[in-house]
């Protein structure tokens, strides 16, 4: 029996980790490729929700999953402490590796696109560090700025427009410099800095060339077209702001 098990161990091929981009909210915005992989893997992983609530990506793919698929919630704490983060990534990578070494493929689903400011990057890099040579594939998808532009009915960019995307951590000075230069600016996760941003846009006469989109493509999506009368806005975490500096 022992010999038999050893032979069995040798012939089990390690599974593959897929990063599946599921888009910003509407479940129909997954790609055919992403859905095909999602529906054939035995293990579907996702970032755990906060306070026992399901995570965003888990909710998005819920309708595509089968009862026999194992659902694996991985904890990625919302903190800045790099040591706590590194420990969480190690733990998540180990949990994924547990299934891969059994020869099972794992699909990690992530809202938006897995190459665009995504938790998947940390999981994949930690796993590749832990187990060099492990097989990882990213499946691209719809990122939130493009979903927001589609929902607004305006192109994000056209012709020779220069695009800048800024994640949440930026200063007013940096924003001023970007507005001097770019044609289109996207501010991601704008909720915590909205009031300062509004002041800058007002000073430049750009409020009527600005849009805010909350929860793009979800049933409770809200859009603000022009911001002149909105110096304050109570926004959820997944909100973004688009400014068309030049309409050339």
User: How many other C-beta atoms lie within 10 A of the C-beta of residue 101?
Assistant: 14
**For residues 35 and 202, which CB has a smaller minimum distance to a copy of itself in the complex?**
35
- Tell which one of 38, 43, 96, 114 touches a copy of itself (CB under 8 A): 114
Q: Does 162 bind a copy of itself (CB under 8 A)?
A: yes
Residue 49 touches a copy of itself, criterion: CB under 8 A: no
Pick 232 or 247: Cβ nearer a copy of itself: 247
Please state, in angstroms and rounded to a whole number, the distance separating the CA atoms of residues 1 and 7. Answer: 10
Q: Round to whole Å and give the CA distance between 39 and 62.
A: 11
The interface with a copy of itself within residues 66-85 (CB under 8 A) comprises none
Burial per residue of 236-247, b for 16 or more beta-carbon CB atoms within 10 angstroms, e otherwise: eebbbbbbbbee
- Rounded-to-integer distance, Cα 61 and Cα 49, Å: 14
CB count, 10 Å around CB of 43?
A: 21
Which residues, 6+ apart, have CB-to-CB distance to 34 below 8 Å? Answer: 20, 21, 22, 139, 141
Q: Does 105 bind a copy of itself (CB under 8 A)?
A: no
Closer residue to a copy of itself, CB minimum distance, 217 or 239: 217
Mask of contacts with a copy of itself, 182-201, x by CB under 8 A?
A: x-------------------
By CB under 8 A, is residue 47 in contact with a copy of itself? no
User: Residue 136 in 3-state DSSP?
Assistant: strand
Binding of a copy of itself by 32 (CB under 8 A):
yes
User: Cα-atom radius of gyration of the chain, to the nearest Å?
Assistant: 21
Residue 10-29 contact track with a copy of itself, rule CB under 8 A, x = bound? ---------x-x-x--xxxx
Cβ atoms within 10 Å, residue 200 = 17
Contact pick of 79, 94, 98, 167 for a copy of itself (by CB under 8 A): 167
Instruction: Point out which residues bind a copy of itself (CB under 8 A).
Output: 19, 21, 23, 26-33, 35-36, 113-118, 120-122, 136-143, 146-147, 149-150, 153-170, 177, 181-182, 217
């Amino acid at each position: 029996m022992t010999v038999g098990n050893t032979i069995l161990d040798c012939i089990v091929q390690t599974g593959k980790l897929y990063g599946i981009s599921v888009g910003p909210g509407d479940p129909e915005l997954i790609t055919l490729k992403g859905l095909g992989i999602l529906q054939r893997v035995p293990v579907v992983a996702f970032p755990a929700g906060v306070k026992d609530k399901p995570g965003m990506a888990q909710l998005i793919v819920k309708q595509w999953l089968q009862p026999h698929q194992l659902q694996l919630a991985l904890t990625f704490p919302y903190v800045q402490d790099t040591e706590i983060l590194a420990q969480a990534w190690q733990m998540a990578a180990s949990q994924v590796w547990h299934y891969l070494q059994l020869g099972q493929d794992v699909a990690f689903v992530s809202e938006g696109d897995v190459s665009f400011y995504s938790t998947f990057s940390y999981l994949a890099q930690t796993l590749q560090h832990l187990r060099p040579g492990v097989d990882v594939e990213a499946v691209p998808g719809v990122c939130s700025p493009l979903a927001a532009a589609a929902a607004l009915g305006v192109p994000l960019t056209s012709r020779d427009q220069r695009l800048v995307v800024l994640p949440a951590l930026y200063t007013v000075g940096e924003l001023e410099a970007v507005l001097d230069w770019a044609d289109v600016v996207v501010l991601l996760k704008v909720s915590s800095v909205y009031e300062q941003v509004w002041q800058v846009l007002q000073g430049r006469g750009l409020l009527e060339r600005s849009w805010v989109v909350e929860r793009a493509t979800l049933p409770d999506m809200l859009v603000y077209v022009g911001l002149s009368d909105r110096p304050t806005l109570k926004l959820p975490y997944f909100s973004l702001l688009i400014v068309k500096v030049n309409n050339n």
